[in-house]
């Protein structure tokens, strides 16, 4: 089997059906092999867009692949790969490279930076495993090793394929992976005893469901634990939609001081907090304004367990959660009524200018089971925390790494991964100008994302922190973008009634993109952003 054939077969074994990318001469031969394979190659407008699409694809399927050329292509993926690493998104980066025979004498080949290892060295900083397929005998082992690392860590991996190795016969794979290391059962039993005692003694316990539950595919285990314990739960910003927010025990999204008081108090006044898979970042905690006592917290993380501030390394959350489920006595009734964060129904007011707060309320009424919300970092994300999503995978945002320009290309990855879902993108006008051209890709492949552009004349997320001309952008007629790409429907709205009507029109258009240009006030923003900006403003100055 040729190296290219083995790599394609290994990718297919992951369950991946699509590969995102852009061709180039150093990867052209392998790209041709990809296009002839059962994998569907999705050509994007820009390599970063391909990386974002693969990231979103990986978040909802468990594995994503992006393939580009060397240097100018690979280094454009640095940002999207860094995001995937930071937020535990399992993406395989495949990059073509100059042939091994071409490198003799260290010539100045196009796309080379300092040395032929420069790109590899960059990706060492943002991937869990790397391989250069420069040896036919070890190529199969190296491919398997990188893909195994991606599965295990839920972080990206990097494979570099020199172009003169594409058609070389690969040696057989001999690599094997050790079984998971066993843990001392007496240590586990003591940890379980402590945790169960804390839960039994608590009068107001609560569960925080984090993003790592989704990354490691533990939703069913979480639901079993919630069913047996009947404990109320919140999610964090990164964990929003890890399970359905219609669950009867769900209270809301906890984000420190950015949270509504009922949600904040439910967490901060709890006498036992069980945090499963939390990623406690500055943005997800309202700039570290969470007020949770470590002494009354149990934190389950991928490779460790922390009980009351004391770490138990080697006891992973998947293993310990199963033990907790088995040990938890089944509760027939909730210990106390669940105080659910309620959202008011939306009724448009005649001739009233739409605001960010009212826009979110309207979308909340519009949401259905087949819609996945993709929120751009900034106010689209903070405002959207008040949406009530119906099922897992119905809310996606890069809310830790927070790279602008993610959401539009992400909609391509999501709809290809989940053809029965409609992506609804919330994106600012500044962010849209970064990667909005990827709508051309959606049109080419018959996709139908609904793009809601929050048009406030610039980078509205930064205005409450520090305003200036640097926050202004050239105004576009965003509704006309569909005419430029030759497909889709475009609308411009500024009133509540108009927005309701246009959303329904967008629902009916399931064959092409819909772009909705929502004209907001220059300084209009969500209440959550105002609270966060007050904290960030002190740091900026």
- Structural tokens at position 66: 């992006």
Question: Rounded to an integer, what distance in angstroms lies between the CA atom of residue 492 and that of residue 143?
Answer: 49
Question: Rounded to an integer, what distance in angstroms lies between the CA atom of residue 478 and that of residue 475?
Answer: 9
Domain ranges, ordered by start, for the chain: 3-165, 185-327, 356-531
pLDDT number for residue 278 = 84
**In degrees rounded to 5, what are phi and psi of residue 40?**
-95, 120
Strand ranges (E), 325-421 = 371-375, 395-396
Question: Rounded to an integer, what distance in angstroms lies between the CA atom of residue 207 and that of residue 185?
Answer: 25
Cα distance between the two ends of the chain: 60
Q: In terms of pTM, does the model score above 0.85?
A: yes
CATH architecture of 356-531: 3-Layer(aba) Sandwich (3.40)
User: Bridge partners of 255?
Assistant: 257
DSSP assignment of 161-221: EEGGGTTSBPPPP----PPPPP--HHHHHHHHHHHHHHHHH-SSEEEEE-HHHHHTT-HHH
Same fold: 3-165 with 185-327: yes
CATH fold label, 185-327: Rossmann fold (3.40.50)
- Regions of the chain with pLDDT less than 70: 180-181, 287, 332-344, 392-393, 537-541
Let me know: does 300 contact 321? Beta carbons within 8 Å.
yes
DSSP annotation of 450 reads E
For residue 11, CA distances in Å to 21, 159, 252 come to 15, 12, 38
Question: Rounded to an integer, what distance in angstroms lies between the CA atom of residue 8 and that of residue 16?
Answer: 10
Question: Rounded to an integer, what distance in angstroms lies between the CA atom of residue 192 and that of residue 185?
Answer: 10
DSSP assignment of 40-100: EEEE-SSHHHHHHHHHHHHHHHS-EEEEE-TTTTTGGGHHHHHHHHHTT--EEEEEEE--T
Strand ranges (E), 217-278 = 233-235, 250-253, 272-276
Q: Which residues contact 88 (CB under 8 A, 6 or more apart)?
A: 153, 154, 155, 211, 212, 215, 279
Neighbours of 38 (CB within 10 A): 8
Q: Which helix (H) or strand (E) holds 26?
A: none
Let me know: does 68 contact 50? Beta carbons within 8 Å.
yes
Q: How many residues does the chain have?
A: 541
CATH architecture of 3-165: 3-Layer(aba) Sandwich (3.40)
Question: Rounded to an integer, what distance in angstroms lies between the CA atom of residue 14 and that of residue 349?
Answer: 50
Torsion of CA 31, 36, 40, 42, to 10 degrees: 40
With 0-12 CB in 10 A as exposed, 13-18 as middle and 19+ as buried, what is 367?
middle
Question: Rounded to an integer, what distance in angstroms lies between the CA atom of residue 472 and that of residue 457?
Answer: 6
């Amino acid at each position: 089997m040729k190296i290219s054939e083995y790599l394609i077969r290994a990718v297919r074994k992951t369950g991946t059906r699509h590969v995102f990318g852009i061709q180039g001469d150093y990867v052209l031969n392998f790209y041709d092999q990809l296009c002839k394979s059962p994998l569907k190659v999705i050509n994007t407008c820009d390599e970063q867009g391909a990386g974002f699409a693969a990231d979103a694809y990986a978040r909802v399927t468990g594995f994503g692949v992006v393939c580009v050329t060397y240097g100018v292509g690979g280094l454009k993926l640095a940002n999207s790969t860094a995001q995937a690493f930071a937020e535990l998104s399992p993406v395989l980066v495949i990059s073509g490279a100059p042939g091994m025979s071409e490198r003799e004498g260290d010539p100045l080949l196009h796309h080379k930076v300092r040395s032929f290892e420069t790109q590899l060295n960059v990706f060492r900083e943002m991937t869990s495993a790397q391989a250069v397929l420069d040896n036919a005998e070890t190529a199969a082992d190296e491919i398997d090793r990188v893909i195994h690392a991606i599965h295990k860590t839920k972080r990206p991996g990097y494979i570099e394929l020199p172009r003169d190795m594409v058609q070389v016969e690969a040696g057989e794979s001999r690599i094997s992976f050790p079984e998971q290391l066993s843990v001392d059962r007496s240590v586990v039993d003591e940890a379980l005893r402590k945790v169960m005692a804390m839960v039994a003694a608590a009068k107001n316990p609560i569960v925080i469901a984090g993003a790592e539950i989704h990354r490691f595919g533990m939703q069913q285990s979480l639901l079993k634990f919630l069913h047996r314990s009947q404990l109320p739960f919140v999610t964090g910003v990164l964990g929003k939609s890890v399970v359905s927010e219609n669950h009867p025990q769900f209270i809301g999204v906890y984000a420190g001081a950015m949270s509504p008081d009922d949600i904040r108090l439910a967490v901060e006044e709890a006498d036992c907090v069980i945090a499963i898979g939390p990623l406690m970042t500055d943005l997800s905690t309202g700039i570290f304004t969470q007020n949770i006592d470590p002494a009354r917290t149990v934190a389950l993380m991928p490779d460790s367990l922390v009980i009351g501030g004391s770490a138990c390394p080697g006891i992973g959350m998947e293993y310990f959660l199963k033990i907790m489920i088995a040990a938890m006595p089944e509760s027939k009734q909730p210990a106390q009524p669940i105080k659910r964060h309620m959202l008011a129904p939306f009724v448009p007011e005649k001739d009233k200018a739409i605001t960010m707060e009212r826009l979110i309320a309207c979308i909340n009424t519009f949401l259905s089971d087949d819609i996945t919300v993709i929120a751009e970092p900034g106010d689209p994300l903070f405002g959207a925390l008040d949406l009530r999503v119906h099922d897992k995978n119905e809310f996606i945002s890069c809310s830790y790494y927070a790279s602008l320009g993610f959401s539009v290309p992400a909609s391509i990855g999501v709809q290809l991964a989940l053809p029965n879902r409609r992506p609804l993108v919330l994106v600012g006008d500044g962010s849209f100008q970064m990667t909005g051209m990827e709508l051309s890709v959606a049109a080419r492949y018959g996709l139908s994302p609904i793009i809601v552009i929050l048009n406030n004349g610039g980078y509205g997320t930064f205005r409450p922190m520090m305003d200036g001309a640097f926050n202004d952008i050239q105004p576009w007629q965003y509704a006309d973008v569909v005419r430029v790409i030759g497909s889709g429907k475009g609308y411009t709205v500024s009133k509540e009634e108009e927005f309701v009507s246009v959303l329904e029109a967008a629902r009916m258009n399931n064959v092409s993109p819909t772009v909705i240009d929502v004209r907001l006030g220059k300084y209009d923003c969500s209440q959550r952003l105002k609270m966060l900006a007050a904290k960030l403003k002190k740091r900026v100055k």
